[in-house]
Structure 1
Amino acid sequence: MNFQYFRLLLTTLLLACTCGPALFAQVFAPLGAQWTYFNFVTEGNGYLPVAYVYTVNKDTVVDGWDSRIIQLREVYADGRESEEGVRQEVVHTAGDSVYVYVKDSFRLIFDYSAGVGDTVRVVDEPFRGFFMPASNLIISDFAYRIDSVQLRLVGKDSLRVQYVSYLRDVDREIDQWGFQGIIDLYDSVPGQILESVGGLGHETMLGFTNAISYIMPFTPGRLTCYSDSLRDYHLLGVDCDSVLTEYRLRTSLPALAIDDAVGIYPNPFRGEVRFTASSVPLRRVEVRDVAGRVMYTREGSALDRLELGVLAPGVYFFVLTDGAGRQSVVRGVRE
């Protein structure tokens, strides 16, 4: 009997040692956590890259709930930070459930244990939305349905991914806060919520909507990096800290003139990409990463399609030059 008890105790300890890191990995928004999303803002006649950086560096107590403060900073690629300063939201975590403070109470926003067919109704009445200045538009509600759940290997962790959609029919003019955006709707790609991390798709961490004017059709806006004291996820193969350092060291950067008349497909891509441009054939293609570094160059004829599977996953800019010397910039994502 004593031997069996000892064996059971030893097995329990071994399981604890093996599973401990995975259990700790389930915590949402621990102190020191940082999320980085890249996107664009309008700047003159073009678009300037911007990083949305969310950090957790404060504990607080709200209505008796132990909570943490998530702060947002916007860092532009020309070295500036948003004139709106730091914006913040308050969240509380209890097991697989995450609550966010809206108006005057905490509302459930993530339930990582929820299954197919379950719904999460965060806010029924109109509200301002998360991390938004008080002057911005009011969104009607925030509710979503879980359509499927899969496991995804992220770093060394196997995490649940919930694929979600709106509860009601929507078109391009969405007035409902949620987890889908223009790109997702066009490509029938569902919103995605990663266990212990948050929203992955065309939205920021606590949900977004394409009714916000600065989210453009050509900016997928996927979560690029997440890190805390135990984890360091590079979801698109980009070293976000290095890119942010380059952003902050710059004193100026001309805005990219994105040409909506030129297309790249598929987008996101994995291997071969094709371009749709004017009737004048392309003569040069230059591929740059989010830090502006040239990663691939090709000149000559027959450049309407290229094999770019050698590129690491991430966000890239294609500088296309045609035979008449005209240049266009297209943004693409390597999955």
Structure 2
Amino acid sequence: MGAPKKSAAAAAAARVSDDPEELARVPLQAVLLADSFTTKFRPITLERPKVLLPLVNVPMIEYTLAWLESAGVEEVFVFCCAHAKQVINYLESSQWFSQPKFSVTTIESHNSVSAGDALRFIYERNVIHGDFILISGDTVSNMSLTRVLQEHKERRKKDSNAVMTMVIKRSKLSPVTQQSRLGTDELFMAIDPDTKQLLYYEENTNHLKATLSLDKMLLIDNSSIRLHNDMQDCFIDICSPEVLSLFTDNFDYQHLRRHFVKGLLVDDIMGYKIYTHEIHSSYAARVDNYRAYDTISKDIIQRWTYPLVPDVLLLGNSTTKLERVGMYRASGILVQYC
């Protein structure tokens, strides 16, 4: 994999002023990928975009947008590819196009086949002017962004190579139970316990593999390392503008984790760094497969995602109310007991 060029990265950095007052005027932005670029939900997604599939009777993208608004994001750029017209038509007729302090803009592309292509397309549009949140439209969370944004900005002041902060969550269950619950592969991470820098990231897709091989230079170059197989990747990233230019400089960056994250971790030329932010009591998960769809649906019903729960989220022109024994009932619905 070739080393990143300096041209685009330098251009991205130049677009962001060093003046604190100018930085203060830059709105908090987010890039929402409305296409997962996978086939895990086929054949359903052959005719309907995944982000519009109902999750407890509400389209998935509603949870993501509601969280971004509540977390203080001011501008969201929704990247649409597969079934783009359906996503755009839905958003244009939704409440999100009329919010006074929350701007939603759709960006349409029909030639993108990966997240890397999407981020390169967004870089060409020149719409990102500061640190931004990178998220997919199938993510449900109720975490606060205040602390992770502050940590990211403080690191950036000390080290301009700190280009990404990845949100992670420790599994309260055993790693095997958590993987079974969400239908995900086992995840190995090496993190510096003092700086929270991510040093190693590997998904164990081969469940028969019982050993983990680390480069000895990783142990030589770092005085302290903590290995984890009990962490869940929340797929919520705080990114600096250089992230977009890095994708533009490296066309072999296609997948956000397998290519981009692992590519930066092994590149010792440019010295770009990824850090982690662990959440504890907040909820964050991605509907990545059918098992995760079932699990997150139950979590929403059981109110682990509050305030993103059925009796708070609007359902068209009606609302639902929580009644006894965990039953939600929409207004105008009569329940007859025999």
Smaller-chain TM-score bracket: under 0.3
> What is the TM-score with the length of structure 1 in the denominator?
0.27
Bigger relative contact order, structure 1 or 2 (CA pairs below 8 A, ≥6 apart): 2
* Bigger helix share: 2
Which is greater in Rg? 1
* Bigger strand share: 1
> What is the TM-score with the length of structure 2 in the denominator?
0.27
